[in-house]
Amino acid sequence: MNKLTTTTSMKTHDAHVIMQRLLPIALKEMLPEHVWSCMTEISLLFQSICSSVLDAASLRRLQESVPILMCNLEKIMPPSFFDAMEHLIIHLPYEALTAGPVFYRWMYRFERFLGELKKKVTNKAHVEASICQAYLQQEISTFSSFYFEREVITRRKRPARNDDIGEDLYENVVSIFNYPGRGKGAATQRYILGGELQIAHTYILMNCPEISPFYHEFRASLSAFPENEIDALVDSDFVNWYKYQINSRGIVDPLLVSLAWGPGASAKVWRQYVINGYTYHTADYGEGRPTTNSGLCVPTIGYDNSETSFFGVLQEILELEMPSCAKKLTCVLFRCTWVDPTRG
């Protein structure tokens, strides 16, 4: 049976939501008016005393009217329905008026703790001893985890669901390789060759502030061309021009030299990636799922200094490595299909 159509295995909070919010609507057309009004008053009573902000005057009115409400309920329900739990409703408005908001006094956390204690029982002939032994093992393992190496992931150091870990950034490293983030799930391997590799190499160079002097010098050398042709020449020739400049000028900076040679052809392919507190995934991964996070928006500034936003759908997540550098430097690229902001 579909889990969405069953009412079994509900949590206590689920029962509260049904009682406070859904019962008056669900029973409106099913019960006589006097029965429905009584059930609705009970729902409104619990809704009032469980709210985050309490009104003292309203609670005093509820305290006066709740005995009448219980009498009306006794006219509808059989005597076997009433036990101590039903009669406790009379005391709830006074308790809320005296002790304050209910959410400070919920028993959920104590019930959860008792559930954790029950899970520790392995020998039902010695219940207390089983709980003590399991508790000691938990304390010892927690204490020992403080002395593990930093890269060892324990329950105490487990990253949050959308935590990008915030890895220690390298010193004296080109900024594009210093963005903290992590892949999620299993990665596959594939080779990117030809024009695709050159596009990735050009993108890396264009997004390195350290390469800006070379980029402006290259554009200045093309000042005789129209603006749209300059962009096409940057895409096709800037990588080779930059490599030639590094070799001809005798630049020995290992990072700049590594950028000239570009990323390796072998790339990791992720289906999910966590960065900036969000988990992005490809469109194929999100297909058929109730929630998707494959849409991207990139604000840009045009030639006329006007702001334009480009919208796209994430198709592939590639992690490229710079093999010619002594340090392991990786760069993650998102391959997207973009929507034309003018044509749609």
How does pLDDT run across 93-114, given as a tens digit for each residue?
999 999 999 888 888 888 889 9
Location of structure tokens 């006794």: 74
The share of the chain scoring above pLDDT 90, in percent, equals: 30
In three-state secondary structure terms, 156 is coil
The reported pLDDT for the residue numbered 231 is 82
Average pLDDT over residues 206-224: 87
Per-residue pLDDT at 312 exceeds 60: yes
Beta strands in the chain (DSSP E): 182-184, 188-191, 266-270, 272-275, 278-281, 295-301, 307-321, 330-338
The reported pLDDT for the residue numbered 260 is 87
Average pLDDT over residues 9-22: 83
The reported pLDDT for the residue numbered 304 is 65
Cβ-defined contacts of 243-246 (< 8 Å, 24+): 245/214
The backbone region for 185, taken as left when phi is positive above 0, alpha when psi lies in -120 to 50, beta otherwise, is left
152-174 pLDDT per residue, tens: 778 777 767 666 665 554 555 55
> How high does pLDDT run on average in the chain?
85
The reported pLDDT for the residue numbered 3 is 60
Average pLDDT over residues 39-68: 92
Rounded Cα–Cα distance for residues 27 and 32 (Å): 9
The reported pLDDT for the residue numbered 151 is 73
The reported pLDDT for the residue numbered 344 is 60
Lowest mean pLDDT among 18-27, 64-73, 144-153, 174-183: 174-183
Name which residue leads in pLDDT, 141 or 254: 141
Average pLDDT over residues 46-69: 92
The reported pLDDT for the residue numbered 167 is 53
Rounded Cα–Cα distance for residues 14 and 278 (Å): 28
The reported pLDDT for the residue numbered 133 is 92
Location of structure tokens 């480009």: 310
Per-residue pLDDT at 57 exceeds 90: yes
Question: What single string gives the DSSP state of each residue in 189-202?
Answer: EEE--HHHHHHHHH
The reported pLDDT for the residue numbered 61 is 93
* 291 phi, psi to nearest 5 deg: -125, 145
Per-residue pLDDT at 60 exceeds 90: yes
**Hey, what are 202's tokens?**
């050009």
Lowest mean pLDDT among 92-101, 243-252, 318-327: 318-327
Rounded Cα–Cα distance for residues 117 and 135 (Å): 9
Average pLDDT over residues 247-258: 84
Give the CA distances from residue 41 to residues 34, 82, 115, 332, in Å, rounded to whole numbers and listed in that order: 11, 17, 33, 58
For the entire predicted model, the pTM comes to 0.55
263-289 pLDDT per residue, tens: 888 999 999 998 888 889 999 998 888
* CB of 316 closer than 8 Å to CB of 269: yes
Rounded Cα–Cα distance for residues 100 and 50 (Å): 10
pLDDT band at 68 (very low <50, low <70, confident <90, very high): very high
Nearest to 204 by CA among 277, 282, 264, 276: 264
The CA-based angle 98-100-105, given to 5 degrees, is: 110
